[in-house]
Amino acid sequence: MKGLAELGEFGLIDQIRARFPQPVAPELGIGDDAALLSPSAGSQVVVSTDLLAEGVHFDLGFGPARLLGRKSLAVNLSDIASMGAVPRWFFLSLAIPAGFPLETIEGLLDGLAEQAAEYGCILAGGDTCGSKSGLVISVTIMGEQRPELILKRSGAVLDDEVWVSGSLGDSALGLQLLMEGKRLGQSDDYLMQRQLDPTPRCDLGRKLAEAGLVNAMIDISDGLLADLGHIGEQSGCGAEIQLGQLLLSPAFQAYAANQHAFPWQLAVSGGEDYELCFTAPVCNHGAIQKISKTTGIPLTVIGKITSSRQVQAILPDGTNFQPSASGYTHF
């Protein structure tokens, strides 16, 4: 089998191009010095970028390379979802160590292509280079939405309800299990799958934005407390959340039942949930519940926006929860 060195940089680029058909091609995409892209009439471009470094963001021993490819795009799609936008194009850059297995790169590309096709996102370009350490994956994504519909972190209003999609803590618990040596194919597959193959809430984010029901929104990547704190910082407010109202999956609850203390830290600070946290006026409660039913995604009110400039978490017994850390930080 031909290795990466034999394939060469341009051979790799040809393999990448072959995996990403372009049913609606950009004006100028892969193969030139730069891409030419035009958003739909009346739309504004929404751009986000994420970098995944081996040993920091992922461990190649945790699961198939295909799932890493899916996750590499999913984390960017989640950013587009949190703005209420529609994903359109993405750019992929890879820094690859010498002697890296070609089959791992092929699996990674297969997963990226699957995810791109699922969400209608077109590969428009990128770059490849060598790496002196581990594999590095950088994805820049571009979406679009009408300017008046784009959701930001800065729109929360006093007494807004705080909502969260889906269940929290599964991904953080899945990572913990993987670090303990468990792998897919065992009884904790659901939890590990949430870590290795998260689901971006693109359809939900767009529907919330286009319904005009939400004041502020963010995706939960660093942990609920940290990310809700970002809304507070940008909106000049705080929040009070009731931990007893959090939706926790049956798998998470089964794990928690066997612990000496309930693992609230995983649920509110573990990160990588890639669910949406948003604030909305109380009068929009019923309309948001209807969107929950039509999308099939649970949406739960967990608290309210306050004037405190802090995020306060209340335990089911009425006492304050004191986290050891509000969320993930690199530095």
Binding-site residues for ATP sit at: 126-127, 153, 221
Output the known binding site for Mg(2+): 33, 48-50, 79, 127, 219, 222
Handedness of CA 77, 81, 87, 93 (dihedral sign): negative
The residue type of 32 is D
Per DSSP, the three-state class of 180 is: coil
Which residues fall in the annotated binding site for substrate? 57, 272, 328
b/e per residue 97-125 (b: at least 16 CB within 10 A): eeebebebbbbbbbbbbbbbeebebbbbb
Q: Decide if 269 contacts 323 (C-beta within 8 A).
A: yes
Cβ neighbours around 138 below 10 Å, total:
18
Alpha-carbon gap, residue 4 to 7, rounded angstroms: 5
Residue 224, token pair as written in the block: 């609920």
Residues 90, 139 contacting (CB under 8 angstroms): yes
CB atoms within 10 A of CB 211: 16
DSSP for 5-73, written as a single string: HHHHHHHHHHHHHHHS--TT--SB-BTBSS-B--PPTT-EEEEEEEEEEBTTTB-TTSS-HHHHHHHHH
Q: Which residues are annotated as a binding site?
A: 33, 48-50, 57, 79, 126-127, 153, 219, 221-222, 272, 328
